[in-house]
Structure 1
Amino acid sequence: MIEDFIQNITKNNKVFVIEFKEDIAISQSLLFKDDANNPVNVVCFWSSKQAASKCCIDDWQNYKPQEICIATFIEDYLVNVYNESFIAGIDFNEQMEGIEADPLDLILDIIKVLKKNKMNIEFEYFKNITDLENQIQKLL
């Protein structure tokens, strides 16, 4: 569940992607289509290294889990996922089944948990969590 993912990443300040050289793991959406009726790309993220490692099979057999902090996850990954009109894939399993989430909604859900737990994160491109939240709200 998305709530579990957010609780895990905020508690540990870690998110995992799987990469090979400069390529990050991308799948195809089962839920979302673009204007040409093609599946939207899904950029995959995991809340644990173990779960990410299990997906380093088949087309991704040469990929390896990479750890990123929440600030990098939000600023460098989710914002780019949104800019590319992709979807965020959350805790996919080896059968490439998982949660598909809108990146902006995911950022707002993470912000809620950070605020609720009074967690402060230093961002590179935003002054603070409130600034981030205000910028995301402008895009919706």
Structure 2
Amino acid sequence: MKSLIIAAVSLTLLVLSHNTTEMGFFDFLFNNKKLENKQREQFQDSVTTQIRHKEFIKKVCDSKIVYALKNSEGFATSSSVQFEDKKGKPIGIICFWAEKARAKSCIKENWKNYKVVEVPLAAFMENWCIGMENDNLLIGTGFDENMFGYEAEPLELILELTTELKSLGKDLEFRKFKGISDLEKQVKAIIE
């Protein structure tokens, strides 16, 4: 009974704290419900992208292949919806996929003239990730046909990949590093 009274008082205070003379009580509740639904959708979207990102990590470590979209001008890019540069502009993203079919499903609209290309995981980690970090770009993983996906910091992604590769007992041959442990050690030194 006490919690019911507290809830009623809280709702009354919440309603009174908003200008209900301009907005009716039910309008107030309806608008809050729309906001609540939007927050729920954003949470679900966030969970979905995180799940697809974890799947990306597992699949590329298993296959040792990453897929990208490429045309004569370069690779498929997008803009971050989460991160901005110092000037307030969205940070650029280059998108990668763990499955050829998902990459292919994104060949439409702005990317309609692109083709799917394979990138060996070792080259992706030591060339792409490090190069994108140097260029202040993000990595998009698992984008879907609606251009919705996970935005990863390149060095953080290297650490996620090395962790997964170690858990699988796998190593990679790099040109500039003596294996995943050496790459991991050097990335951690940069981050810290």
On whether the aligned pair clears a TM of 0.5, the verdict is yes
Larger Rg: 2
SS of match in other structure, 1:97 = coil
Counterpart Cα distance in 2 of 1:86 and 1:49: 23
Q: Give identity over the alignment, percent.
A: 34
Cross-structure match for 1:81: 132
The reply on whether 1:50 has 2:101 as its aligned counterpart is: yes
User: Counting helix residues as a fraction of each chain, which structure ranks higher?
Assistant: 2
CA deviations on 1:20-51 (whole Å, 9 max, x unpaired) are 02500110000000000000001100001100
SS of match in other structure, 1:3 = helix
The reply on whether 1:72 has 2:72 as its aligned counterpart is: no
Q: TM-score, normalised by structure 2?
A: 0.71
Counterpart Cα distance in 2 of 1:138 and 1:99: 25
SS of match in other structure, 2:88 = coil
Counterpart Cα distance in 2 of 1:22 and 1:107: 26
Asked which structure has the greater RCO (Cα within 8 Å, sep 6+), the reply is: 1
SS of match in other structure, 1:37 = coil
User: Counting strand residues as a fraction of each chain, which structure ranks higher?
Assistant: 1
Gap runs ≥5 in structure 2: 1-50
Amino acid at match of 2:119: I
Counterpart Cα distance in 2 of 1:52 and 1:44: 9
Gap runs ≥5 in structure 1: none
Counterpart Cα distance in 2 of 1:129 and 1:78: 14
Cross-structure match for 2:178: 127
Amino acid at match of 2:152: A
Cross-structure match for 2:75: 24
Counterpart Cα distance in 1 of 2:78 and 2:56: 19
1:59 deviates by: 1.2
The reply on whether 1:9 has 2:60 as its aligned counterpart is: yes
Aligned residues: 140
Q: TM-score, normalised by structure 1?
A: 0.97
Cross-structure match for 1:112: 163
RMSD, aligned CA? 0.9
